[in-house]
């Protein structure tokens, strides 16, 4: 239920500056995702919002109120981390109710809030179990449930899915999306290095690079209009193809970027590039062709459905409908 505003926020550990001046407005009820490479400051920024770490300079505002010196327990936040620290000797119910028990909430109140959260996460049938009797995904849901019963105004997640296997990651990702839908007043800030999680969960994504904001926007804005080669290469899978040298010169730019779905294999040889198919990946629904055209790296072309060509074949390629990204010497897009 809170709007969060960061104003020129900086954080140093000793002489090392880790967060280098961040201005960011996170709207009430928004699902904001921080992405960026390992070590760029995502967790630090989340900890600054939580109050677990003090900011070195700048201002942190919750609903217009300066919270720089407000301790975590008074900020109305709940955090879910990668490793779900549940108490091993307590049942799921007690794990979830523990905070309320400390706060001397009545039994009826504990019961109501725990059951409501358990219902939301579909873990009602697990309330009497001990953590060791749960799967990894169930434990992570209990950790999320424990955060929900605290009735936070801000939910902070730090890579909550990274300890789960691929199938559970997808399932839990859907549950978090549902949670956001069911708790529309609660502001959620979510850290991940997984751009698929970012694309699927976020209302807006904030791409961080070396302690600074590189770009903030909706997933579609970042995908369609990245404001640097860094964002272009970070958002989207497979990665955007980049070409330099003569390939870029032909488009009057320093770096030419083109996504795999925006390259077409043309049968009549009328393409603008030719190359040899050196590798293919069949994903069932899609087929990725790795094609050596003489650029720095083989380019990846996505064919939907099957591909009936041969490995080693010479193919002719062209961009689909002018869907290219042109970047200048400074790695910024050209108009
Ligand atoms: P991310 O979550 O994006 O991987 P972190 O926020 O954990 O990155 O870390 C950003 C940088 O800050 C890293 O270089 C890390 O080594 C440094 N850092 C994080 N916490 C501390 C700390 N308590 N003391 C010193 N350096 C730290
Ligand atoms: Mg981290």
Which of residues 82 and 317 earns the better pLDDT score? 317
Q: What is the pLDDT of residues 198-221, one digit of tens each?
A: 999 999 999 999 999 999 999 999
Domain 240-327 CATH (choose: 2.60.40.10, 2.40.50.140, 2.30.30.170, 3.30.2130.10): 2.40.50.140
Q: Compute the distance from residue 163 Cα to the ligand 1 centre, in Å.
A: 20
Cα–Cα distances in angstroms (integers) from residue 32 to residues 123, 127, 214, in the given order? 26, 31, 15
Q: Comparing 22-36, 82-96, 203-217, 317-331, which segment has the lowest mean pLDDT?
A: 82-96
With a Cβ cut-off of 6 Å, ligand 1 is lined by: 13, 18, 36, 38-44
| Nearest atom of ligand 1 to the alpha carbon of 47 | 6
Name which residue sits closest to atom 5 of ligand 1, judged by CA: 41
**pLDDT score of 141 more than 80:** yes
Average pLDDT in the chain: 93
| Nearest atom of ligand 1 to the alpha carbon of 41 | 6
For the CA atoms of the chain, what is the radius of gyration? 24
Kindly state the average pLDDT of the residues 2-12.
96
Q: What is the pLDDT of residues 177-193, one digit of tens each?
A: 998 998 888 999 999 98
Domain 4-232 CATH (choose: 3.50.50.60, 3.30.56.10, 3.40.50.300, 1.20.1280.50): 3.40.50.300
**pLDDT score of 83 more than 80:** no
Cα-flanking dihedrals φ and ψ of residue 323, to 5°? Answer: -80, 65
User: Distance from first CA to last CA of the chain, Å, rounded?
Assistant: 39
| Nearest atom of ligand 1 to the alpha carbon of 38 | 4
| Nearest atom of ligand 1 to the alpha carbon of 44 | 6
| CA separation for the pair 297, 54 (Å, rounded) | 44
Kindly state the average pLDDT of the residues 285-301.
95
Query: What band does 1 get if pLDDT is binned at 50, 70 and 90?
Result: low
Kindly state the average pLDDT of the residues 2-22.
97
| Tokens, residue 309 | 């060509």
In which region does residue 52 sit, left (phi positive, over 0), alpha (psi from -120 to 50) or beta (all else)? Answer: alpha
Whether the model clears a pTM of 0.85, i.e. scores above it, the answer is: yes
Q: Which ligand is nearest to the CA of 54?
A: 1
Confidence (pLDDT) at 288: 95
DSSP state of 92: H
Map residue 173 onto helix, strand or coil: helix
Confidence (pLDDT) at 269: 85
Question: What residues does each domain of the chain span?
Answer: 4-232, 240-327
Q: Which ligand is nearest to the CA of 40?
A: 1
Helices (H) and strands (E) in the chain, counts: 9, 18
Task: Judge if 4-232 and 240-327 fold alike in CATH terms.
Answer: no
Q: Compute the distance from residue 325 Cα to the ligand 2 centre, in Å.
A: 30
| CA separation for the pair 195, 205 (Å, rounded) | 10
């Amino acid at each position: 239920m809170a709007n969060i505003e960061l104003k020129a926020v900086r954080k140093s550990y000793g002489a090392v500056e880790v967060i280098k001046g961040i201005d960011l407005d996170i709207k009430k009820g928004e699902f904001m995702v921080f992405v960026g490479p390992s070590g760029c400051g995502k967790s630090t920024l989340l900890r600054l919002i939580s109050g677990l770490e003090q900011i070195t300079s700048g201002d942190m505002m919750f609903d217009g109120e300066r919270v720089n010196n407000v301790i975590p327990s008074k900020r109305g936040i709940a955090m879910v981390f990668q490793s779900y620290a549940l108490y091993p000797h307590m049942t799921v119910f007690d794990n979830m109710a523990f905070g309320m028990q400390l706060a001397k909430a009545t039994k009826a109140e504990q019961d109501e809030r725990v059951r409501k959260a358990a219902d939301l996460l579909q873990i009602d049938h697990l309330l009497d179990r001990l953590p060791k009797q749960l799967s990894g995904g169930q434990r992570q849901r209990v950790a999320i449930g424990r955060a929900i019963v605290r009735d936070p105004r801000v939910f902070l997640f730090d890579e909550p899915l990274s300890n789960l296997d691929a199938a559970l990651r997808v399932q839990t990702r859907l549950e978090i999306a549902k949670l956001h839908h069911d708790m529309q007043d609660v502001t959620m800030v979510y850290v991940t290095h997984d751009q698929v999680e970012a694309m699927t969960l976020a209302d807006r994504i904030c791409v961080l690079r070396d302690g600074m904001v590189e770009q903030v926007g909706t997933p579609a804005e970042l995908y369609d209009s990245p404001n640097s080669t860094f964002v272009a290469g970070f958002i989207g899978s497979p990665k955007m193809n980049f070409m330099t040298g003569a390939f870029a010169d032909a488009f009057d730019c320093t770096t030419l970027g083109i996504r795999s779905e925006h390259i077409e294999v043309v049968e009549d040889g009328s393409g603008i590039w030719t190359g040899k198919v050196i590798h293919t990946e069949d994903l069932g629904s899609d087929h990725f062709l790795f094609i050596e055209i003489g650029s720095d790296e083989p380019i990846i072309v996505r064919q939907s459905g099957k591909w009936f060509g041969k490995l080693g074949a010479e193919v002719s390629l062209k961009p689909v409908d002018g869907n290219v990204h042109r970047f200048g010497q400074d790695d910024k897009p050209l108009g």
